[in-house]
Chain A
């Protein structure tokens, strides 16, 4: 399986190999998610069969109704949306000016600053868990949205800055120089020249922060323990009883929780892959 081959020179064998490789990638990537959709449409009785019955005999959407009736899942969803959007906004608002300064201005010890930012991006969240917990408790922020927004914005900030620095650095300096000769200020050059040109970078960084915040589990599990303040990632774990795992119900919750991400990916996949590979990613 070789990477870089012009399509017209393929032998049938190579064509089959390529088909198999792509097929494996697509099936492997989608299967677990598709399996959850199938599971969510089955009834509990239908599930308890072995050999497994692959397709549900009739589509049973009642699990989706139960997702919302057995737990306040709509509230979880709203909480996740609020927390993720606000932490994204906060993070990007702090990252854009910082990245511009790092990419463009004469800063002494720029290298040291960049190294520090990289180091911040590698801090283990779980090491911050207890001190952050106490900090939030001290500030009376437990069970409020800011208890998650602040750490999410801060935790994603290093990777947002690094991504944006990569994008800003790729924009020719002459463009700003020309604008500044024409009489605009540095800040004017940033807002009127650099920012419009780096929209793809800002979108990539924002999506990264959003996905990180939507997916975060540990802090959400520990800081916001009140049911009405739970987020989706914690919410999906709440359907398991003490002894039972109602899998069709859990599967339906999983599907609902993942839909926003699947939509984002489907819409932005081209830009996403280009942006992530250009800016450097962190899992």
Chain B
């Protein structure tokens, strides 16, 4: 805990001492953020201009922007980017389709409310790697419970090879990520719902609105800021997704379609020890995240967060 070094004189010279105090209080946080996040980020920019591959140590040196050129010609980068965007669109929309009804259900007064809250928090708090492992097991081709339920329900005749069929493996991963992230959307929307005074919907119903009407005309517009915040956070985490695709790829022969930008960066840097090219890829991912962040910052500044 930071302590001001000298007892501050009350009233006398309030402004300068307040500035100094603010500086002191901000110092530890600033040191951590600058030293552990900003400094490495800046070195990434520098690294991206240098060839630095541990497996070919004789190839070293400044190469300017050529690794960015390599990236644009790299089919695997193109595929990873496309996969990331496809997963992004599918999982973000999926998490809203599931998360908003979840929030409404959790918001209802009921005796099972505590249990519902735990059910809501569990997917959110579960480590993503473990989520990946669990769902890989649920989708197991031979003994998976998903296949079993589908066969029992008569939806399919034969068990499906979820993880080794390209299209199905994508679907399985989307379902996994949607399960994991819907509760995040639900939590934000729940926060929004709790901020809406009950009188408003009651007034609407007194005025003769049906429940559906009052939901769409009163509640949904008031939820717009929460939905927007959830949307932006979800988009950013979707762009950066790593853990779940990484776990799935360990068990899925159909890898190509599952490799996201995050996984490609990991493999380039840590598995193939190509630090230079990994840095260039990292800058691309950083730029993508920053673009979404910029939208968020503008949204907050324009007062969208009512």
Instruction: Tell me the A residues contacting B by CB distance below 8 Å.
Output: 1-5, 7, 18, 21-22, 24-26, 28-30, 32-33, 35-36, 39, 47-52, 90-91, 93-98, 100-102, 105-107, 111, 113, 115, 117-120, 122-135, 150-151, 153-155, 157-158, 161, 180, 183, 185-187, 191, 211, 214-215, 217-218, 222, 232-234, 236-237, 240, 245, 247, 250-251, 254, 257-258, 261-262, 264-266, 269-270, 272-273, 276-278, 280-283
Q: Which of B128, B147, B229, B282 contacts A126 (CB 8 A)?
A: B282
From the candidates A106, A130, A153, name the one contacting B47 in the complex (CB within 8 A).
A130
Q: Which 9 A-B pairs have the closest CB atoms?
A: A277-B191, A29-B119, A131-B40, A154-B36, A98-B29, A215-B127, A97-B25, A127-B282, A2-B211
**Complex interface: chain B residues within 8 A of A35 (CB):** 134, 137-138, 145
Q: Is the CB of A186 within 8 A of B21?
A: yes
Q: Which residues of A have CB within 8 Å of B117? A: 269-270, 272-273
- The verdict on A129 contacting B266 (CB below 8 Å), with A3-B193, A51-B148, A185-B7 known, is yes
Q: Are B122 and A262 closer than 8 Å at their CB atoms?
A: yes
Q: Mostly helix, strand, loop or mixed at chain B's interface?
A: helix
Total count of chain B residues near the partner, CB < 8 A: 127
Q: Is the CB of A33 within 8 A of B143?
A: no
Complex Cα–Cα for A109 and B110 (A)? 46
Cα distance, A112 to B25, chains bound together (Å): 17
Inter-chain contact B110/A273, CB cutoff 8 Å: no
Question: In the complex, are the beta carbons of A240 and B250 less than 8 A apart?
Answer: yes
Whether the Cβ atoms of B187 and A277 lie closer than 8 Å is: yes
Q: Is the CB of A30 within 8 A of B296?
A: no
- Please determine whether B133 and A250 come into contact, CB atoms closer than 8 angstroms: yes
Q: Which residues of A are found within 8 Å of B143, using beta-carbon distances?
A: 47-50, 52, 247
Could you tell me if B219 and A4 are in contact, using CB atoms closer than 8 angstroms? yes
Cβ contacts B1-40/A at 8 Å (1 or 0 each): 1111001101000010011011011101111110111111
**Residue with the greatest number of chain B CB neighbours at <10 A, chosen from A25, A90, A91, A115:** A25
**Does B93 reach chain A (CB closer than 8 Å)?**
no
In the assembly, what is the distance between CA of A20 and CA of B183, in Å? 18
Contact of B41 among A123, A187, A270, A276 (CB under 8 A): A123
The 7 sampled A-B contact pairs (Cβ below 8 Å) are: A4-B193, A26-B112, A51-B151, A123-B37, A123-B286, A126-B282, A133-B269
In the assembled complex, the Cα of A185 lies from the Cα of B9 at a distance in Å of: 8
Asked if A155 meets B125 with Cβ closer than 8 Å, knowing A26-B112, A187-B4, the reply is no
Tell me the complex Cα distance, A251–B130, Å. 10
Inter-chain CA distance A183–B289, complex, in Å, is 48
A2→B215 contact, CB < 8 A: yes
Q: How far is the CA of A183 from the CA of B7 in the complex (A)?
A: 11
One of B56-64, B71-79, B166-174, B234-242 at the interface: B234-242
